[in-house]
Amino acid sequence: MPEEVTDTRPSRTWIAPLISTVVTLPLALFTLVFGALSSMACDYCEEAEAHRFGTSFDSAWTVLTVGLVLALITLVASWALSRRRPPAGLALAMLAPSVVSFAWLAFMVLVDQP
């Protein structure tokens, strides 16, 4: 008589990555659009102030885009690990929106606002 194989893995491990996706992707899109639009904050500044703003904006934009890419990588990793290692998938799912928030905070700190 063959033995019955039972699956001991949790069955609803996809819920945390799904909620994280629903939160992270719109948040990242909003952050990206608002970050891009903030480049127009110094359209009518004086030359020295505009140069200072432009220099700080370029480095801050790089930090923002790298942060958003890291958030996307974290989100994909949460989906990949949700079935094999549920605790790691849950941790990454909770971390993804935090990475977007941290990238936005770093962007706002680095930009020298006029």
pLDDT greater at residue 114 or residue 72: 72
Tell me what the pLDDT averaged over the chain comes to: 90
* pLDDT > 70? residue 8: no
Question: From CA 45, how far away is CA 54, in angstroms rounded?
Answer: 11
Diameter of the chain by CA atoms? 85
Rounded to 5°, angle at Cα 98 from 95 and 92 = 10
Q: What is the DSSP letter of 45?
A: -
What global pTM score does this model have? 0.85
Yes or no: say if 33 and 95 are a contact pair by the CB < 8 Å rule. no
Chain segment 49-75, per-residue pLDDT in tens = 888 888 999 999 999 999 999 999 999
pLDDT at 7: 60
